Each structure stands twice: as C-alpha cells, then as structure tokens.
Amino acid sequence: MSELSEKKPSPAKALGKIFGHRLRSEELLRKALTHPSASATGNYERLEFLGDAVLSAILAEALFQIFPDKAEGELTVYKSALASGKFLSALAERMELRPWVHFDEAASGGPMGTSVMEDVLEALVGAIFLEAGFARTRRVVLGCLGDIPAQLESLVRDYNPKGRVQEYAQSKTPAWSIEYRLVREEGEGLQKLFEVELWLNGKRYGRSQSSSKKCAQEAAAREAMEQLLP
C-alpha cells in the first residue's frame, strides 16, 4: 500500500464529512478538539460554553416547531433529554469524534471519559456558530440529530422516570397517591444496599434495589412506567 493511501485525512476534512460543514479556521478547529489537559491556554472550554448556549437555543426552537401542541413542561423535558450529557456523549461517539481529540492522559490523571466527548461536541457547535452563524449551525445540528421524535421516543422513556410517574399520577381523576417505600436497607459504605417499592394508588407497580436510594427509586419508577405505558 502506498504512503498516500495510508495517510490520515486532516481533521478539517474528516469532520467536514461527519458534520456536513467544513470549518475553515484551523485555530477554531484546533481549540474545539483540545482538552485542557493537552493545552493550558488554547483548549475547548470557551467554545464549549458558547456551543452549549447555541445548542440549547436550536433545540428549543426545533421542539417548539415540531410539537405545536405540547405544553412548556413537556418541551422542557424533551430539551433536557436531548441536551443531556448521556445523549450528547453517545452522539459524539457515534459520530466517531474521539480519535480527533487532543487529550493528555498523564496530565488528566486517567483515560478520556465520556463527558469529554460531550464537551467536544458542544465546542464544535460553538466553533461552527462563530464561523458560519446561527442559521447554518442550526442546519448542521439538526442534520446530526436526525429524526428528533424518533430519538425522543427512546430517550424520554429513560429520562426523569420519577417526574413521569408524578405526571401520570396527577393526570388521573382524582389524582393517584404516590409512595416510595424503603423495604430493605443493609450493609455499610460501598456495600450499602437499598430496596425500594413504588406504590401508586395503593397498588405496587415497581420494585428495585441499588447502592443509592435515589437510583433505586428511579429504577422502580422506570419499571412502573413500563407497566403503565408499554
């Protein structure tokens, strides 16, 4: 195989194909891809700050247009789910951004975490906004997100399960009672275990256990929602 065929494409060219927009500014691109561990000055932190705000505005506008009949509360849940670290880091991984990130494992004290991928994605959004403006950034972001209602179908199912339980219970006439019962607590420190049951209107709908009481409650709520909203 020739040297030419083995040559790695430039970040600008590779990311241009991924985003459908090629950044012309090498400086913006370099900063957007640089973790603070790899550079004390020219890193992605300021671009991430900007990109987070731009992304929030894009999501808010898109959801407002896509769901004209949804109330503010539901739109807030949708936006929070799409802007969550879990979703954005997973999206960045699917877009294969990781190989392009400048990261110093020794300086950071460990391997690159998933939160870095979220930060880089937001920084790239900020860089595109600075160079191309809001309208172009909106098209790029929505192109990366794809079918938003389809994304939300699976996202919201797992997002804020306790909030969904509360909304469901309050939608009943009269409203259903909600009770999280701690049925078992044992162990110490890292071996701590909580077992929680969720009772709605006097009937048990969920039961789960975890090393965190909050996580046990959320898991019980998620189980209840799977029964009530299959």
Domain boundaries, the chain: 8-158, 161-228
DSSP 8-class letter at 58: H
Catalytic residue numbers, as ranges: 52, 122
pLDDT at 77: 77
- Residue 116 is which amino acid? V
Name residue 204's beta-bridge partners: 199
Question: Under CATH, to which class is 161-228 assigned?
Answer: alpha beta
Please identify which residue in the block is written with the tokens 């992605």. 44
CB hemisphere CA count around 125 (13 angstroms): 31
**What is the chain's mean pLDDT, rounded?**
88
DSSP 60-129: HHHHHHH-TT--HHHHHHHHHHHTSHHHHHHHHHHTT-GGG-B--HHHHTSSPPHHHHHHHHHHHHHHHH
Rounded Cα–Cα distance for residues 19 and 120 (Å):
13
Q: Nearest-CA neighbor of 101 among 17, 24, 14, 20?
A: 14
| Interval 208-212 mean pLDDT | 87
pLDDT at 5: 44
Rounded Cα–Cα distance for residues 124 and 18 (Å):
12
pLDDT at 228: 82
> Which residues are CB-neighbours of 227 under 8 A, at least 6 positions away?
205, 206
pLDDT at 4: 44
pLDDT band at 157 (very low <50, low <70, confident <90, very high): low
Rounded Cα–Cα distance for residues 111 and 89 (Å):
15
Q: What is the pTM of this model?
A: 0.69
Domain 8-158, CATH = 1.10.1520.10
- Name the helix (H) or strand (E) containing 204: strand 203-210
pLDDT tens digits along 88-138:
999 999 999 999 999 988 887 778 888 899 999 999 999 999 999 999 999
Residue 19, CA distances (Å) to 86, 95, 100, 154, 198 in order:
20, 9, 14, 23, 43
169 pLDDT above the threshold of 70: yes
27-41, 67-81, 201-215: which has the minimum mean pLDDT? 67-81
3 pLDDT above the threshold of 60: no
